[in-house]
Structure 1
Amino acid sequence: MNDLLKHVLDAYGGLDRWHSHSRLSVKSATGGPFWPSKGIAENHGWGNVTIRTASEWTRIAPYGAPDRTMTFVPERVVIEDGDRQIVQELVDPRAAFKGYGPHSYWDASRQAYFNGYALWTYLATPFLLAQPGVELTEGAPSYEDGEVWRVLDVLLPETIASHSAAQRFYFGPDYLLRRQDYRLDVSGGTQVAHYVSDFVEVEGLRFPSKRRAYPRGEGGQPDRNQLLVWIRFDEFRFD
């Protein structure tokens, strides 16, 4: 295992402790100008999010209506009503974004796919980096916010749905995540810098409860005056 990742996993509470649980549930809220660019209301109230720890799976309820539930896996996303009848379904969802740009509107099933993989990625970090097929390389250190951040360049396998295959993770002196850079492939390749803060501890495992995403410009520098998305997590619990 990569030496930096070993330190990171220990700082987060350990891979064994993560694998001792099957599901993680949180309350989640989000907002920001990114959503209207997709034809979606800017602010979203608190919803219930559940992920599996061992595989990429996300469920959100309610979703779009009080009686609806969204279930995501990389190959398929489904929105169901209270009678478990399918309202919308998207098979091979990644292919459905072909030709979509930064201002292309999303329907409910495309939004569900994005929410599903994004929330799983955020809540399963850094433990997902220990999954088979993930390639890791430590890069040159970065200097930001008065700290030296160690950098992990990541290449995810095709089996993991995420913003992009190539991503960069920045860890502070305490080995907790500070920033995550990626390309938003489902939105025309927008370059994003995603900052995390306000860590909480749940049964010995640590999670950031606040996230803020900004566009990156020339040279990969983030424009922190131009917020894209904010996310809040609360009421973490393992099932």
Structure 2
Amino acid sequence: MNDLLTEVIEAHGGIGRWQELTRAQATLVSGGDLFAVKGLPQDATPRTMTVRLHEEHASVQPFGAPDQKTDFTPGRVRIEKLDGHVVAERKDPRTSFSGHTLETPWDPLDRAYFNGYALWTYLTTPFLLAMPGFTVTDIEPWGEGDEVWPGLRAAFPLRIASHSAHQDFYFGPDRLLRRHDYHVDVAGGFATAQYVHDYTEADGILLPTRRRAYRRDTDGRPLMDQVMVSIDLSHVRFS
């Protein structure tokens, strides 16, 4: 394993503890301008997010109605009633984003797909980088204020749905994640810098509970006048 990744995983709770766990659940409040641009403005209703840790599977509840939830895997996304009745389903959902720009409207299944892969990525970072099929290399550090954050570039395997095939992760002196850079391929590929804050310890795992994603310029600087996506987590549990 890459030396920096080894330090990072240890700082976030250690691979031994991670391998003892199979599921994460958290209360989620999300927002940001991206959803309004897509024609699906997000309200501030708290929702329950559940993900499996060692396979890409996620669900958020409620979704669209009090008695509905999502069921996401890379190859299929559903909106279901709580009794299991399928309201809507899309197989091979990534193909539905072909030709999309930032302004292309989303339907509820597009939103469910984005939510599923994004929150799965966030709730499994940085441990997912040690999963089979990921390639991780050191990159130039990022300077932020009086700190210098070493970075890793991850090449994601095709079987994992996420923002983009290559993503960059930057870590503070304590080796906790500080910033996550990627392109949002399902929204025209705009470049994003996501800053993370307010760490909590949950069942032996450290993770940030506050995320703010901004567009970034060609020099990598965040455009702080517009929050594209905001995520606040609480009541995080691993089991």
- Is TM (by shorter chain) over 0.5? yes
- SS of 2:230's partner is strand
Report the Cα offset of residue 145 of structure 1: 2.7
Corresponding residue for residue 4 of structure 1: 4
Corresponding residue for residue 195 of structure 1: 195
Report the Cα offset of residue 15 of structure 1: 1.3
- SS of 1:30's partner is strand
Q: Does 1:214 align with 2:214?
A: yes
CA distance in 1, matches of 2:111, 2:65: 14
CA distance in 1, matches of 2:82, 2:233: 25
- SS of 2:142's partner is strand
Is the contact made by 2:33 and 2:226 (CA closer than 8 Å) also made in structure 1? Answer: no
Alignment of 1:104-115 (within 5 A): 104-115=104-115
CA distance in 2, matches of 1:43, 1:215: 21
Q: Cα deviations across residues 55-74 of structure 1 (Å, max 9, x unaligned)?
A: 11101111110000101000
Corresponding residue for residue 140 of structure 2: 140
Specify the code of the residue in structure 1 equivalent to 2:70: M
Q: Does 1:53 align with 2:53?
A: yes
Corresponding residue for residue 24 of structure 2: 24
Corresponding residue for residue 227 of structure 1: 227
Report the Cα offset of residue 22 of structure 1: 1.2
Report the Cα offset of residue 220 of structure 1: 2.4
Alignment of 1:10-159 (within 5 A): 10-159=10-159
Corresponding residue for residue 185 of structure 2: 185
- SS of 1:101's partner is coil
Report the Cα offset of residue 204 of structure 1: 1.5
Report the Cα offset of residue 85 of structure 1: 1.1
Identity %: 46
Moved over 3 A (4+): none
Report the Cα offset of residue 225 of structure 1: 2.1
Report the Cα offset of residue 218 of structure 1: 2.1
Q: Cα deviations across residues 143-166 of structure 1 (Å, max 9, x unaligned)?
A: 103211001011111011100011
CA distance in 2, matches of 1:130, 1:52: 16
Q: Cα deviations across residues 7-44 of structure 1 (Å, max 9, x unaligned)?
A: 00000011121121111100000111111101012433
> What are structure 1's unaligned runs of at least 5 residues?
none
Cα distance change, pair 60–42 in 1 and its aligned pair in 2 (3 A): closer
- SS of 2:33's partner is coil
Which shows bigger deviation, 133-142 or 216-225? Answer: 216-225
- TM-score under structure 1 length normalisation: 0.98
- SS of 2:179's partner is strand
Is the contact made by 1:193 and 1:222 (CA closer than 8 Å) also made in structure 2? Answer: yes
CA distance in 2, matches of 1:226, 1:31: 12
CA distance in 2, matches of 1:25, 1:82: 17
Is the contact made by 1:34 and 1:42 (CA closer than 8 Å) also made in structure 2? Answer: no
- SS of 2:6's partner is helix
- State the superposition RMSD in angstroms: 1.0
- SS of 1:5's partner is helix
CA distance in 2, matches of 1:49, 1:26: 5
Is the contact made by 1:32 and 1:43 (CA closer than 8 Å) also made in structure 2? Answer: no
Specify the code of the residue in structure 2 equivalent to 1:111: R
